[in-house]
Structure 1
């Protein structure tokens, strides 16, 4: 009988979850998101970026507009195999690494190409950016007789001192914000307590004293 008594008085799990205070979902989301975000920031390998700049210079048989057009073209050529294959020895990494970790950017207002390299090692990022930039200059010089535009290394890449990746504190704050938002959304879609919940609530059993009084009245 005691076993049946305990079974009848056990509150169903959905009711226990709904009985939690509303702010508990938001607090749990903030805590979980902060822990996950902070852990990601600690475990993630920092990445460093180094950038070298080359500028297109027209000869006496070309003009600035022509140099601007070839700067855009050389910005696309810089990550091609012809240039990367020439840069791999100086960079000390295979062509595949250069293809994955080197990016270029051009400006619509200046005949300049930015060559950026990303690596977990600052010195390697610097070597890759400078090697690709110099290989691009040599590639342009080889075609200078036909294009009438040459490239000069405007600025060498310097060794980065700080990583580009966010710190553990920043990733923790981002994770906590995302977790709090998810907790708030879960709070909005959480089922409300209705009349059917009240119906399944177990009725209270009178204590011994009340039962004795009722028996005496009978």
Structure 2
């Protein structure tokens, strides 16, 4: 068995990368990443988002601070089974779809709940957001005598006209950035060029004795 006197063999990719100029690796990575990102953006199904808003209003037996606290509570229960079970009737989709497609958000300064739904169909996104808002309002009405807070529809969700998902141009830009970064990493790990004499031996550096002899001849 013949041993390799030059040590372990480097990967072929790094060996080829050694001979390429630095700018070509960066450019190739950016172009390849941009193409892949653009194709992904074109192939991915666009997503549409619609948001419905409800507001907590205190009655004569309550105060704004209580309404703010109940708005936070309603925001947490809006995606629970008790609310989604009613919302599925108006949305026309199963509870599982509502659970994965609907999110809620509340504000620490305003007694308002934002109910956002996402779907590949713009009309369905608006229907799901409005259905959950309607179901949540009805559940709040059933407990108004105890909470002294009424939940009212503030703004209905409308059918979105543009997708909320990233456009092919944006995904292409992200892909180009990632490809350029990958090309830079290849530059960092590629083998360095060896400095050799024409005979294949490493270039020699004059030692101290040779340098001293040359200095004595001056």
Please state which band the TM-score falls in when normalised by the shorter chain. 0.7 to 0.9
Q: For the structure 1 residues 140 and 174, does the alpha-carbon distance in structure 2 shift closer, same or farther, using more than 3 Å as the test?
A: same
**What does residue 139 of structure 2 align with?**
139
Find the aligned partners of 2:62 and 2:172 in 1 and give their Cα distance: 54
Quote the residue 1:29 is aligned against.
29
| Alignment correspondent of 2:58 | 58
TM, length-normalised to structure 2: 0.82
Unaligned runs of 5+ in 2: 1-10, 202-218
Aligned: 1:112 with 2:122: no
Q: How does 1:117-132 map to 2 (within 5 A)?
A: 117-132=117-132
What does the per-residue CA deviation read over 1:105-127, in whole Å, with 9 as the maximum and x for residues that have no partner?
Answer: 00011000000000000000000
Question: Where does residue 70 of structure 2 map in the other structure?
Answer: 70
| Residue 169 (structure 1) aligns with | 169
Q: Which residue of 2 aligns with 1:212?
A: none
Q: Which residue of structure 2 aligns with residue 86 of structure 1?
A: 86
Bigger shift: 88-97 or 167-176? 167-176
Matches of 1:175 and 1:136 in 2, distance apart?
41
Question: 1:7 aligns to what?
Answer: none
Q: Counterpart in 1 of 2:215?
A: none
Q: CA deviation at 1:196?
A: 7.2
**Most deviating of 17-26 and 167-176:** 17-26
**Cα gap change, 1:15 to 1:78, in 2 (>3 Å):** closer
Please, which runs of 5 or more residues in structure 1 have no aligned partner?
Answer: 1-11, 202-218
The aligned runs of 1:160-199 (5 Å cut-off) are: 160-195=160-195
The superposition leaves residues 56-86 of structure 1 with CA deviations (integer Å, 9 ceiling, x where unpaired) of 0111111000000000000000000000001
After superposition, where does 1:3-42 map in structure 2 within 5 Å?
Answer: 15-42=15-42
Q: CA RMSD in A?
A: 2.0
Equivalent residue, structure 2, for 1:48: 48
TM-score by length of 1: 0.82
Contact residue 49 and residue 163 of structure 1 kept, 8 A: yes
Q: Which moved more, 1:186-195 or 1:78-87?
A: 186-195
CA distance in 2, matches of 1:197, 1:108: 73
Where has structure 1 moved over 6 Å in runs of 4 or more?
196-201
Q: What is the alpha-carbon distance in structure 1 between the residues aligned to residue 120 and residue 197 of structure 2?
A: 57
Structure number having the greater helix percentage = 1
Indicate if the aligned counterparts of 1:15 and 1:197 stay in contact, CA closer than 8 A. no
- Cα distance change on mapping 1:188 and 1:82 into 2, 3 Å: same
CA, structure 1 residues 16+124, in 2 after alignment: closer, same or farther (shift >3 Å)? closer
